[in-house]
Structure 1
């Protein structure tokens, strides 16, 4: 039975298939793997630990030159995704009906869903299609976790002020530290870095499965068509927008598209906002189920979208591989293209 060969034929298969399989298990048999011990530790609760290890290993391949590129990409991903989400959210506020909804969507649901991305999905796609510097951009994306950036947007809109406790600098340090340890190890001893790097991609299907155990397909039903629409908008606008921007900048566009998702922790954003400002309380419950539907929708749709984009890129001169080349190799490829023309 050729399981690996089958997964390799599916775009992002090493991540997509385990994630959807686990989501199916969690939807229909939620307690079958929640039996404690090693079973629950590996198949249900391991995502954070495995992603942290994946980041540490990625860090062993980073030097000062690539670290600069990682910072540039991370800041670009974070800021552009936020700006796109805020722009659509502001439009929704302007065009909202008498119920405060736009196309059935709560504006705070739009901002919460579009500005907060699934780090696990990003790591999986950056690991499959990108370079080490792309994976190392992840810690900056962790700044979007939780309701902080949604609060910033609402503050700018004049709807509310900042609230204490919604963002902790130590949370950012906690995400950055495994990567920093990896960078230190890799730069102190290249052989140690090479040793850790071997087989690091084997972590992907395991943390993808654990991520899937946090997804329940019933969220799509509760969120209704408006929640599905929110997921589609998130994938197409944030994922598609960053794909085009990264391609324009000469960076791997698939890495940009990998930000087109909604993180599971965004589900708690409406409740946090309502706690800080009671004027949002009447819409918080609806916004919560819509964001939950977006989480599930983007988890299914983004891999399909990225598979489509990857196939398109492979038709170009040099294919997807050219975006993972060095500057010198890229220039040589471009020069050969000019000569051929």
Structure 2
């Protein structure tokens, strides 16, 4: 059987197929793999460990002479994602109705969902279509995890002020450290760099499946049509913006599009904001379910969209050139 070859015929197949398989099992048979031991640790609870190992392997491929490019790409991803999400959120606040909603969407949900990207999804997509410095750029992009940048946007709008304690520098360090360790090892020993290079692609389907085991299709139903629309907006607005910004900088535009998702931890952002400012308490429940629906929607839709962009670049004969730059 040619399982791998058939999976790879699907755009982003090494990531999409295991992720959707995990989501189906988690939705309809949630207890099937939650039996403890090695099985649960690998297939259910292992996503963060596998992604950390992936980042270490990717870090080993970084040449210290090119570290400036990695930082530049990471800062660009972070800035584009936040600027676009905050702008759409501002428009929603300006035109919100008496119920505080804009076309059925909570502005708080819009900012939380559109400024926070799914690091695992980014790493998986870039692992297939990007280079090592693209993968390592996640260490900068990870700064948008949690409620901090949502709060920055809200404070700029005058909706609330900064609140201490919602952003810990150790969160950033914890993401960066595996990459740094890998980079040190790879630059000290060329044989170690070659040894670790095989780990990147091999790990993608495993952590993709574990990510899928955290997705429940019921969240789409709970979030309603508004949550699905929010997910679609996140993919096509922030992803497309990243695509064209990267293309204008002569970087691989697929990498820019790969940040067009909503992270699972963004679901907790409305509650964190509401706990910091009572003005958001009334809108917190609907914002939470809409963000949850966006998480699931983007996890399914973004790989498909990225696959479409890849095919488009391949037809033009441009993709190979971008992947070599």
TM > 0.5 fold call? yes
Q: Determine helix, strand or coil for the equivalent of 2:244.
A: helix
- After TM superposition, give the deviation of residue 196 of structure 1 in Å: 1.3
In structure 1, distance between residues paired with 2:121 and 2:175: 16
Q: 8 Å contact 2:61–2:193 — kept in the other structure?
A: yes
Distance 1:80 1:194 in 2: 33
CA contact (8 A) 2:33 2:44 kept: yes
CA distance in 2, matches of 1:41, 1:114: 30
Q: Give the Å deviation of 1:64.
A: 2.0
Corresponding position of 1:34:
34
Q: What is the 5 A alignment of 1:213-228? A: 213-228=213-228
* 1:132 paired residue number: 132
**Distance (Å, rounded) in 1 between the aligned partners of 2:241 and 2:205:** 27
Q: Which runs of 5+ in 2 are unaligned?
A: none
Q: Which has the larger radius of gyration?
A: 1
- Residue aligning to 2:3: 3
Distance 1:160 1:215 in 2: 32
- Please give the residue correspondences for 1:200-215 in structure 2 after superposition, counting only pairs within 5 Å: 200-215=200-215
Q: Residue 101 of structure 1 corresponds to which residue in structure 2?
A: 101
Give, in angstroms, the shift of residue 216 of structure 1: 0.4
The answer for the alignment partner of 1:324 in structure 2 is 323
1:256 matched residue in structure 2: 256
Give 1:1-341 correspondences, 5 Å limit: 1-317=1-317, 319-326=318-325
Partners of 2:45 and 2:145 in 1: CA distance: 19
- Between the aligned partners of 2:268 and 2:199, the Cα distance in structure 1 is 35
The structural deviation recorded for 1:32 is 1.0
Structure 1 moving runs of 4+ over 2 Å: none
In the alignment of these two chains, the number of paired residues is 325
Residue 65 of structure 1 and its aligned partner are, at CA, apart by 2.5
Once the two structures are superposed, what CA deviation does each residue of 1:8-64 show, in whole Å capped at 9, x if it has no partner? 100000000000000011011111111110000000011111111111111111112
TM-score normalised by the chain length of structure 1 = 0.94
- Structure-1 separation of matches of 2:232 and 2:286: 18
Q: Distance in 1 between matches of 2:306 and 2:79?
A: 21
- Structure 1 unaligned spans of 5+: 327-341
Give the C-alpha shift of residue 199 in structure 1.
4.1
- Give the secondary-structure state (helix, strand or coil) at the position aligned to 2:281: helix
Rounded Cα–Cα distance in structure 2 between residues aligned with 1:88 and 1:94: 10
Q: Deviations over 1:151-210 (max 9, x none)?
A: 111111111111122100111111100000001001110111111112431100000000
Alignment partner, residue 335 of structure 1: none
SS of residue matched to 2:283: helix
After the TM superposition, which of the residue ranges 63-72 and 279-288 deviates more from structure 2? Answer: 63-72
CA RMSD across the alignment = 0.8
- Report the 3-state secondary structure (helix = DSSP H, G, I; strand = E; otherwise coil) of the residue aligned with 1:282: coil
The CA distance in 2 between the partners of 1:158 and 1:313, in whole Å, is: 42
Q: Deviations over 1:234-279 (max 9, x none)?
A: 0001001110111111100110000000000000000000000011
Q: How far apart are the structure 2 equivalents of 1:119 and 1:311?
A: 23
CA distance in 2, matches of 1:148, 1:205: 30
| TM-score with structure 2 setting the length | 0.99
